[in-house]
Amino acid sequence: MGPSVRVGLSKREDDKRRLFLVTAEDTPDALIRVLGVASVQQARLRALSAVPEGQHMAIRLEIDDQGDARAEALASRLAACPAVRGVGFGWR
């Protein structure tokens, strides 16, 4: 298993977050592509981890909750990203 990346930011207990689990190709630009989609969708990133798993990368994004419609839109955009192979999301 290769190196992993983990970034955590401070969290207040009353903050509601959405958790997105993304499976992407393990390519040099996969993580930046996923982060680019989150940025364009104006998702406020609170925590990030990315771990290589075989030929794929497991990416975990925690973002501020902005409602069901925004979460579904972000999941849809992430799924459409060329490097992404799967997306799941729920509450943190």
Domain boundaries, the chain: 17-91
pLDDT of 9 higher than 90: no
pTM of the entire predicted model: 0.82
Distances (CA, A) of 67 to 10, 22, 74, 81, 86: 21, 19, 11, 22, 21
**56 sits in which H/E element:** strand 56-64
pLDDT of 84 higher than 80: yes
Domain spanning 17-91: which CATH class is it, in words? alpha beta
pLDDT tens by residue, 27-55: 999 999 999 999 999 999 999 999 999 99
**How far apart are alpha carbons 33 and 30 in whole angstroms?**
5
Q: How confident is the model at residue 12 (pLDDT cuts 50, 70, 90)?
A: low
Q: What is the predicted pLDDT for the residue at 31?
A: 95
